[in-house]
Structures are given as C-alpha cells and as structure tokens.
Amino acid sequence: MNAAPIAKTGAPLLQVKGLKKHFAMAKPFLNRLLEGGEQQTVKAVDGLDLEIPRGQTLSLVGESGCGKSTVARLIMGLSNPSGGSILFDGADISRAPAGQPADIRRRMQMIFQDPYASLNPRWRVADIIAEPLRTYGMCASRQEERREVDRLLEFVGLNAKDGDKFPHEFSGGQRQRISIARAISTKPEFLVCDEPTSALDVSVQAQILNLMRAMQRELGLTYLFISHDLAVVNFMSDWIGVMYLGRLVEVSPAAELFANPQHPYTRLLLDTIPDLGMSKRDRQPAAGEVPNPINPPPGCHFHPRCVLANERCRSEAPVLRMYDGGVRASCHAVEEGRGVEPIMAQASAAHPLQAAV
Amino acid sequence: MALLEVENLKVEFPTRKGVLTAVDNVSFNVEQGEILGVVGESGAGKSMTGAAVIGLLEPPGRIGGGQIRLDGKRIDNLSPDEMRKIRGRHIGAIFQDPLTSLNPLFTVGEQLVETIRTHLPMSAAEAKKRAIGWLAEVGIPAPDRRFDQYPHQFSGGMRQRVVIALALCAEPRLIIADEPTTALDVSVQAQIIALLKRVCRERNAAAILVTHDMGVIAETADRVAVMYAGRLAEIGPVAHVLQKPSHPYTAGLMGSIPRVGPRPERLIQIEGSMPRLTDIPSGCAFNPRCPKVFAECHRVRPELRQLADGAAACLLYEGVTP
Amino acid sequence: MSDTSFTGRLRSFADSDLFYSFRRSRTTVIAAVALALLFFGAIFAPVIAPFDPFDIAHLNLLDSELPPAWMEGSNPAYILGTDTQARDVLSSILYGLRISLFVGFASVILAAVLGVFLGLVGGFVGGIVDAVIMRVADVLLSFPAILVALLINGVMRGILPANQHESAAILVLVLAIGLTNWVQYARTVRGSTLVERQREYVQAARTIGVGRLRIMLTHILPNVLGPVLVIATINLGMAVLTEATLSFLGVGMPATQPSLGTLIRVGNEYLFSGIWWVVIFPSATLAVLVLAVNLIGDWLRDALNPKLR
C-alpha cells in the first residue's frame, strides 16, 4: 500500500505546484540609500511540487532552514507565496489568506510545534476549543457547543472537566492534546502538523503520535507532517519528502526511502539516526553544515557536501525525476547512475535497517 | 577510587510552599576516562545533578544533603572562589547553547588563551600555540585565522566545537556536558558527538553527559543513569540498560522511542506524564504510570538495588511479592 | 482549581505569588497603607473634613492665619491651622487631594486608553499607520512632558471663552496631561503586540479564520496589558506631580477650586511671613502621595517581571 503510485489512489487531496516563497532581506532605508547595492532575497521555498493522496500522510523532513515550516505556513495561508499554486481538493487557494474561503479552510487545520505558545494563556480550555466552532457557526446553542467541546476533550484523552481550566494547569503533552482537539473541532479532512512533538518528552511524544495515528484511522484524515526526526517520520508517513535549502531533493514512499535512499543528502540524514541497538558505535559523520540560505551554492545546493559532486552538479540545478517504485529524486549522480552502487552498499552495511528493531 | 563520587546527593529549592526536592538521594560514581550518560525527561533532575557537581546551581537551589567528592576530596562544601578554581582546571563544562559559554566581546583566541593561562603555567606565546592547537584538534579549519575571530563569526556547529575546546583546554579530568547537541542540526549533532568521544578518549578525560536523547547516550556513553522525578531509576552499562532494561520506566521509555525499520501500528506508550515537584507520589515516584504496579509501590520507596548487571530502584527486585 | 465564585477568586488571590511578594515587602505594605489613608480622606472629604473650605458663609476672617493645634494661639478646631482666608488647612488638603487624585486618575486612564489603542493598532496593522503613530510619538517624546502639557493647556484655553476657564480647568488639565503621557503606553504595547502577533496562538486563530479585529481584541489585547498596569501605576505619581506643577505655575486649578498644587502655590507666597503651615502640609501630603504611588509601582514592576523572580 505504501508503494502504490499516486495515480492509482485517485485525485490527491492537496496538490502543490512550483510553490515559491522568496523573502526580501531589506536593508534599512538609510543604508540602502547610502550604500546602494541590490536587494538580497532568501529563497525559503524554491519551486516545490507535491501531492498528498486522500487519507495518507506525507512528511517533509530536513534540517533547520530547509523551508519545511514555510511550506506549512504557505499551505495554511499564513504567508503569501511568491509563485506557484496550491490546490486543495481541486480549489486554488494559493492567493487566499488564512481562514478564507471559509468553506475550504474549515476543512484544513493546523497543529503547531510549541504547545506552550499555541494556546492563548488567558483563555479557558473550553473557549480555546470552541473558538473554531464559534467562528464557523457550527453549534446552534451554547449547550450544544459545550457538549461538543466535552466530546472533543474526551476524544483526545482528556477529561470533560478540564474545559474549565487554563492552559498553564496542563503539562506539555496535555496542551498538545488541547491543540489537537481545537484542530479537529471543525471536522477537517486535512491537518498540517508542524513538528507537533519536537517540544515533548519521548514518552509523551509516543502518546501524541499514537493519538494522531488513531485519529487518522478513525476520521480518515490526510496529514502533511513536518519533522526533523526521521524515526518519527518513519512511524507516521506513507510518503516522505526530503528538503534541502528550499528544494525537494527526494520524494518517495516511506518504506522505499528507508530501504533504498537515492539522494546523497537523504543518505546523510539516514546515517545520522542513532542506532539504539548498537552502543558506542564509532562512525565517520558527514562533514559540513547547511550553508547560509542567503547565498546558497550554485547548481545543486548540496554539492559542497556531496562526495559524488562533479562539474555538472556545481553549475546545473537538478530537477526531480521519477524512478522505479514511485521514487522521485533530484540528483545528477542518481540520474547518471554515477557512484550510486558503492555508496548504497556502504550505506546498507553501516545501517542494518531491518535489524535495528 | 573513582574519579568522582556522588553520594546521596540532594538538591533542594526552598519556595514559599515548602522545600521542593529536585534531586533526591542520588548516588553514582564516575571512573577515570569513563563517559556516564545521565538521561531523563524534563523535570527528572538530570541537569540539576550536573549543575550541582560543577557548583553552578541557580539560586535559590542548593545542595541539601549528601557529598560530592572529586579524587576523594569533598567539593560540595567549597566556597564559590575555591569552586571557581576547580571549574576549568579540574572540571570542564559544555552547555546546550554555545553562545552562553562564549563572551561575544572577545575573540575566540583570547578566550582560549585566558582560560589556558588561568589554569596552566604558560607564557602568552605558548598559550597561543596551545590554543591554535586546540582549535585544530576540535576540527576547526584554518585555526590560525579563526583564532582572531569573534564567536558570532562562527556557525552553530563550529561554536560548539569552540566551547568544547574551551572546556578541555585546561585539561580537566572531568567534563560535564549538559545537552551539548540539542540546539544543533542532526547532521552536526553526529559530528559533535564523535568529536566529544574522541577528545575524551585521547585525553583519558571522564565525562558526565546529560541529555534527554537516548540516541546520543547509545552512541556515546559507557554507562547510563536513568533519572525519574529527581531519583535514580536505574544505572548500568549502556548496552544492558538500553537493550534489557530492568526498571519498568526505562523499558517504557525505550519502547516509546520511534525507530527506523518496519513501522508498528502503535508505539509503546507510558500513560500520564512526569509529576511536578510539588506532587511527587508517595512510595515509588513512578507508580501512577507503571504497568507493573502493585499495592506496595504506593507505600514503600524502593532503594537502588545492585543487580547482576547494573542497579535499579524497583520493588520488583526487592523480593517484595506483588 | 478554577473556582469562579467571588470568594474562590479572593482565596486564589490571597494564595497568589503576587500577594505573597506584597506581604513580604514591608515598604510596599507601608506605602499601600499610606495610600489607602489618602484615598479614604480624598473620597470621603465631604464627610470627614471638619469644615467646608468653599463655604464662604462659614468663613470667619477672625480665625485667619491660626497656627496648627499644638502651637500657642491656636484654635483646637483647626488641627493644621488656617490660611489667610481663614480656611481650615486640613479640610483644604482633603478637598485638594480629591482634585489632584481625580486629575491624576482621569489623565492616566485617558493616556492608557489612547496609548494602548494606538500601540495595538500600530503594532498589529504595521506599515504606514504604524509609522505615522510612532513618528508622532517620537516628536512628543523629544519635548519635556511639562512643555507639551503647557502647550496643550494654552491651546485649549485659547479655544475656550474666558468665562469658562475656571469651570473647564479640570477637564483641560486631564486632557493636557493625558495627551502628553500616552507615548509610553503606545511604545510598550506596540512592542508586546509585535511579539505576541508572531506567537503560535495568534497564528492558530488566523488559520481558524478569526477576523483581524477579533484577534486584536480577544487574543492580543489581554496578553499585552500586564506592563500597562505597571506603567499606569508609576504614571499616576507623575500625573499628580504634573498637575501640581501646572497648578503651581498658575495654569492649572484656580484658587477657588484648589488642588494640592494650587494650595502650594498660594501658600508659597506666605512661606516667609511665618505662616509656614499653609504650604508645608499640602507639600508633605503631595510628597507622601507621590512616593507611595511610586513605591507601589516599583514593587509591581518587579513582582510582575518573571526575570527578577
């Protein structure tokens, strides 16, 4: 099921084409006047294509500054794209601000990263969860609203009595449950989850991830899941997209990505996953850091850190190409079949994926 | 004799509603050249334990009991001045955010030279040579040029390398690293872990590595101490604790970590969350969340009991029948 | 935990960190007691004042310039003595306190409401609106407050017909002081608004489709009001002083309706003719009032600042 090509599962619920977000790094007016010089731009998202089939999860992974959170904000309308289109169930919402049009936006909600910042500290929990219901006029009376809030609280594993409390009376995990209750109150079909567990402890993370999986089964939700943690992504996803400096370098069915990573950056990321089964393993971690996004390397952004880089990689930006098993990767080396085999062998030797559990 | 002995350490916070105990009766040793991981979730008291050892508890926190001995000499009752001499020379510190350990007004080189000359008898020229050597040692390219740069000119990963150089340059025998990789990107995390391991091994320095990340522990530590609600739940060799955990909390914790490989339908989860310091349950602190809880757990507080491999504080090992 | 009844709220306040830090600061408690006494005196002046200083019918010029009760030649009925018009000093102070406090409170409320509104709008809307508001604020800040208040005062007196000057004096003072002091509120609130509107709970409200005005009023406003309370408290002392200064300069409250500042101005003329009590007692009252308010303001600032706790 994981490896099913997108075409077979019908029209995707979310479709993103050539999505771009460029931020102008404006210097203060006086400096611009006196020093001149051109405007610098950061290409936070630079031509992104993806589809998410109904009822499935696509995860975006990457290190800080890769643009994954910007993608979430663009899709939710919290930020205006500089180019490209976003189609939700066929409707173009690329230029629509957050919350509009109401009939579409009601069907897509978001769960935020920081459970300490995403709930208004001065509101009672019942009011926080009821806010979407009120905004979309989904409950006829206060009694009905309260019943619905109680139901939602219990659905996410809290107590109906908790509605009278304030957010500060809850732990991080409980707050994230409140956040989830708010997100599903409008009966959405699509949830954008921006690092929903990265601020939580592992034992609590497991609770939230289990809840999200259960919700997906019971409510038939479609997720865009954003994370920097590949193990978390493995648990959550049907599809995984790897981002590097604003571009997708690989999009594959989840199992395929772990078993058969194509792009050198994907392999690098996989190699950073600590192996809990084997203690004190010595390894040679890949060198280098993510470069400054204001001035990314030309050609393929990854070439300065890539062992396979050649002249073409330094000058020509690769595009996403389709390979067997629904795998898409943007890499000249993969396309040319250059040096893939030895690296693959090495990667699988250093990473007995199946044995790790 | 172990390099560091911590015996019945208690860290307290006086508040107006009574004295809260953040670290409760914790004992462990660190041997020469050994890396001890201290792992736990937020509120477990792991950072507080590390801070108590280097004498950097934030007031009003204070050591409320027990002893900390370095080379057999007590260091928990030293004056702030005496403790300052121990820090740097005998115990180095690495924190989560490299910017808190670096002074933005001085170049990296000046800070290294100052630390070296404070603790080691050396001329300025010798110290500079040594400092550049350290920058090279921690993997900073073009160290003689970087020597004259300020912290803000370094990337996050490079800054943490500088902090490691700074912690090690006076050649302490013990390093306390509190979440040294948490603020870094995953690909850089691996580099810093490898570096820390290498320099500790080469200098035969011991380290206490405080982290919430079991992955970091698995890759780095020789032994691991698992903390829960201010108490030691379990301590033992890494391979043993991670693969055959004795304490139900450790077992739950390990099960709740998502892994690569075939994905399960559900992760093992521990219900509830870590208690606040104001309402730690009586008996075993883990009893409300424990899948193996029995009546005695609500009454009797388990002591750390030596097992075949390591030690655990759980009534299951005290011959109490459920 | 979240008892909404009145006694429940009272109990949770008595149990709060704020009340605890209040109880532990002896200076603050003394200042609060002093302030409470002054408030009590001002509010109940018509009831507790021994005389009505504005009731000309009962003034007896034979009783003028009597010293305080403990001095020789005094009349025990006039505890703090009388002035040149035979008005009881204590009663004048109580009535003057009333006016000073009224002007202080009214101008602080005006400044706070105006400042919070402008700061909120500037911070939330941004762009040209923000730029205009903040440049006006900068201009106001670059002049001493008393100068701006004098200017506003002068303009309004110019607009109003002369025969209404006395009756409108209190209103003019409130406007002059209020319009001068909003800048601090606006800057603080704008700063907090810029921070709050980036926070995830505001983003969450946006994704839910809550309108901008609603977000501003129901989400951001309650979260930026904390510092406003501190500024308002400290500003109350400033406003009372500004009122006193304006009245002292003769552009504030008229002698027929004296505030503390007016009393000091009028009494000042007699300072060296031996009837010192006419000026010393109102001055001391003003000093105690402003000091008490400032001490409470300082405590509030520290108590609400999580960094200092």
Nearest of B269, C202, C203 to residue A173 by alpha carbon: B269
Q: Which positions in chain C touch A117 (Cβ < 8 Å)?
A: 199-201
pLDDT in tens, B108-125: 999 999 999 989 899 999
Q: Which residues contact A135 (CB under 8 A, 6 or more apart)?
A: A99, C208, C209, C210
Q: Which residue of B186, B243, B256 is in closest CB contact with A205?
A: B256
Q: Over chain A, what is the mean pLDDT?
A: 85
pLDDT at C154: 83
Rounded to an integer, what distance in angstroms lies between the CA atom of residue B37 and that of residue B237? Answer: 10
B292's CB contacts (< 8 A; 6+ apart) are: B248, B316, B322
Q: What tens digit of pLDDT does each residue of A264-305 get?
A: 999 988 888 887 766 455 666 777 788 888 888 899 999 988
At C62 the pLDDT is: 73
Contact of C210 with chain A, judged by CB distance below 8 Å, is answered with yes
Q: Which of C2, C128, C208 to mutate to test the interface with A (most CBs of A within 10 A)?
A: C208
Within 8 A by CB and 6+ apart from A45, the residues are A19, A20, A21, A67, A70, A71, A74, A81, A246
Is residue B207 domain-shared with residue B128, that is, in the same domain?
A: yes
Bond from prior residue into B258 cis (ω within 30 degrees of 0): no
Alpha helices in B120-224 (DSSP H): 124-137, 143-146, 156-168, 186-203, 214-220
Question: Are A354 and B253 inside 8 Å of each other by CB?
Answer: no
**What is the interface pTM, i.e. ipTM, of the complex?**
0.87
| β pairing state of B174-178 and B206-211 | parallel
- Residue with token string 């609400």: C304
The chain C residue lying nearest A114, using CA atoms, is: C200
Point out the residue among B185, B219, B273 whose CB comes nearest to the CB of A281.
B219
State the maximum Cα–Cα separation within chain B, in Å, rounded to a whole number.
68
> Element (H or E) spanning C93, and its range?
helix C89-125
Q: What is the pLDDT at residue A348? A: 38
Looking at the structure, do residues B118 and B177 belong to the same domain, yes or no?
A: yes
A3 — phi, psi (to 5°)?
-90, 5
Of C256, C272, C198, C266, nearest in space to C59 by CA = C256
Q: What is the pLDDT of residues A315-329, one digit of tens each?
A: 999 999 988 888 999
Peptide bond into B60 cis (omega under 30): yes
Look at residue A29 in the predicted model and tell me its pLDDT. 64
Q: Which of A110, A121, A135 sits opposite C223 (nearest CB)?
A: A121
A276 contacts on B by Cβ (under 8 Å): 214-215, 218, 242, 254, 257, 259
Q: Which two structure tokens, joined as six digits, stand for A324?
A: 């067997």
Instruction: Tell me the average pLDDT across B95-116.
Output: 89
Facing residue for A234 by CB, picked from B212, B252, B258: B258
Tell me: do B89 and B184 sit in the same domain.
yes
Confidence of residue B97 (pLDDT cuts 50, 70, 90): confident
| B135 and B33 assigned to the same domain | yes
Residues 214-243 of C with CB under 8 A from A: 219, 222-223
Give the closest residue to A123 by CA, choosing from A152, A184, A84, A165: A165
B214 and B85 both lie in a single domain: yes
Q: CA C99, C103, C105, C106: dihedral to nearest 10 degrees?
A: 130
The pLDDT of residue B320: 61
Distance of CA B278 to the CA centre of its chain: 24
User: Contacts of residue B39 in chain A, CB cutoff 8 Å?
Assistant: none
| C-alpha to C-alpha distance for A176 and A194, rounded to whole angstroms | 12
Higher-scoring residue by pLDDT: C65, A346: C65
Contact A249, A263 (CB under 8 A): yes
For tokens 């994370």, name the residue: A227
Cβ within 8 Å, pair B186-A171: no
Q: How many CB atoms lie within 10 A of CB C11?
A: 12
Please tell me the predicted confidence (pLDDT) of residue A9.
52
Instruction: Judge if B224 and B300 occupy the same domain.
Output: no
Interface probe for B, chosen from A212, A276, A281 (most Cβ of B below 10 Å), is A276
Per residue in A176-234, pLDDT (tens digit) is: 999 999 999 999 999 999 999 988 999 899 999 999 999 999 999 999 999 999 999 99
Residues B206 and B288 in one domain: no
Rounded to the nearest angstrom, the gap between the alpha carbon of residue A338 and the centroid of all alpha carbons in its chain is 30
Contact in structure between A165 and A125 (CB atoms under 8 Å): yes
Whether B222 and B282 map to the same domain: the answer is no
3-state DSSP helix/strand/coil % of chain B, to nearest 5: 40, 25, 40
Q: Which helix (H) or strand (E) holds C221?
A: helix C221-248
Instruction: Note which residues in 280-299 of chain C have CB less than 8 A from chain A.
Output: none
Cβ contacts of A286 on chain B, cutoff 8 Å: 187, 190-191
Q: Do B183 and B66 sit in the same domain of this protein?
A: yes
Which pLDDT score, from 0 to 100, does residue A4 have? 41
What token pair was written down for A302?
């990854």
Which B residues in the span 177-206 are in contact with A, Cβ-Cβ below 8 Å?
185-191, 193-194, 197
| H or E element, residue A57 | strand A57-61
Cα–Cα distance for residue pair C174/C149, rounded to 1 Å: 10
Partner-chain contact C203 A78, CB within 8 Å:
yes
Q: For C147-155, which contacts have Cβ atoms below 8 Å and span 24 or more sequence positions? A: C148/C179, C148/C180, C149/C176, C149/C177, C149/C180, C149/C242, C149/C246, C150/C176, C150/C246, C150/C249, C150/C251, C152/C176, C152/C179, C152/C180, C153/C246, C153/C251, C154/C251
Distance from CA of A204 to the nearest CA of B (A): 7
Would the CB atoms of A201 and B274 count as touching at under 8 Å? Answer: yes
Residue type, C114: L
Q: Which residues pair with B208 in a beta bridge?
A: B36, B176
pLDDT tens-digit series, residues B34-46: 999 999 988 899 9
Question: Which residues are A50's β-sheet partners?
Answer: A16
CA of A292: which chain B residue's CA is closest?
Answer: B155
Strand partners, B37: B209, B224
**Residue C270 CB neighbour total at 10 angstroms:** 16
d(Cα B223, Cα B125) in Å, to the nearest integer? 40
| Band of pLDDT at residue B68, cut at 50, 70 and 90 | very high
Higher pLDDT: B134 or C5? It is B134
Q: Which of A75-79, A139-143, C258-262, C285-289 has the lowest mean pLDDT?
A: C258-262
Q: Which candidate, A228, A222, A244, A232, places its Cα nearest to that of A320?
A: A244
H/E run at residue B73: strand B73-74
pLDDT for residue A7 is more than 80: no
A28 chain-C contacts, CB cut-off 8 A? none
CA-to-CA distance for B65 and B75, rounded, in angstroms? 13
Residues A61 and A243 sit within 8 Å (Cβ to Cβ): yes
Greatest mean pLDDT among A18-32, B76-90, C62-76 = B76-90
pLDDT score at A355: 31
> What is the model's pLDDT at position A283?
66
**pLDDT value at residue C41:** 87
Q: What strands lie across the sheet with A83-88, from one edge to the other?
A: A40-52, A14-25, A83-88, A91-92
Question: Is B274 within 8 Å of chain A by CB?
Answer: yes
Question: What integer pLDDT is reported at residue A8 of this predicted model?
Answer: 45
In this complex, do A169 and C1 lie within 8 Å of one another by their Cβ atoms?
yes
B237 and B186 in one domain? no
The token pair that represents C300 in the structure block: 């509030």
Which of B28, A327, B232, A131 has the alpha carbon at shortest distance from C206? A131
Q: Please tell me if residue C203 touches chain A, with a CB cutoff of 8 Å.
A: yes
**C213 vs A contacts (CB less than 8 Å):** none
Residues of A in contact with B254 (CB under 8 A): 276
Q: Which residue has 């809880």 as its token pair?
A: B293
Q: Count the domains in chain B.
A: 2
User: How high is the pLDDT of residue B289?
Assistant: 92
Question: Which of B33, B13, B29 lies closest to B21, judged by CA?
Answer: B13
Average pLDDT for B202-222: 91
For residue A113, pLDDT beyond 80: yes
Interface test with A, best of B196, B260, B269, B278 (most A CBs within 10 A): B260
Which of these, B39, B175, B174, lies nearest to B94 by C-alpha position?
B175
Q: Where do the structural domains in chain A lie, given as residue ranges? A: 238-276+297-345+352-357
Q: What is the mean pLDDT of each run of 10 residues along chain C (309 residues)?
A: 62 75 86 91 84 73 75 76 80 89 93 94 89 90 82 83 78 87 92 91 92 91 88 89 86 82 83 81 90 89 64
- Please indicate, yes or no, whether residues B194 and B235 belong to a single structural domain of this protein: no
Q: Which of B213, B257, B214, B221 is nearest to B238 (CA)?
A: B221
Contacts of residue B239 in chain A, CB cutoff 8 Å?
A: 279
Q: Give the CA angle between residues B118, B124, B126 to the nearest 5°.
A: 100
Predicted pLDDT at C269: 81
**At B27, phi and psi to the nearest 5?**
-130, 135
Question: Is a pLDDT exceeding 50 seen at residue A353?
Answer: no
B218, B230 Cβ separation under 8 angstroms: no
CATH number, domain of B50, equals: 3.40.50.300
**Cβ neighbours of residue C166 under 8 Å, at least 6 residues apart?**
C254, C256, C257
Chain B nearest-CA residue for A171: B273
Residues of A at the C interface (Cβ-Cβ below 8 Å)? 73, 76-78, 98-100, 102, 105-106, 109-110, 112-114, 117-122, 124, 131-132, 135-136, 164-166, 169, 179, 182, 186
Q: Residue A1's pLDDT is what? A: 40
Q: Give the separation between CA C178 and CA C104, rounded to whole angstroms.
A: 9
Q: Give the Cα separation of B297 and B281 in Å (integer).
A: 10
pLDDT mean over A101-116: 92
Q: Which amino acid is at A51?
A: E
Judged by DSSP in three states, B225 sits in strand
Four-CA torsion B137, B142, B146, B148, nearest 10 degrees = 110
* Cβ-proximal residues to B88 (8 Å cutoff; 6+ apart), any chain: B115, B118, B119, B170, B172
B223 burial level (CB within 10 Å; 0-12, 13-18, 19+) = buried
Regarding whether B272 and B305 lie in a shared domain, the answer is: yes
Report pLDDT for C306: 55
Interface mutation target, options B162, B198, B226, B263, chain A, most CBs of A under 10 Å: B263
pLDDT exceeds cutoff 90 at B177: yes
Q: Residue B52 belongs to what domain range?
A: 4-228
Q: Do residues B46 and B228 make contact, with C-beta atoms less than 8 angstroms apart?
A: no
CA angle A151-A155-A158, nearest 5°? 90
Enumerate the β-bridge partners of residue B70: B4, B73
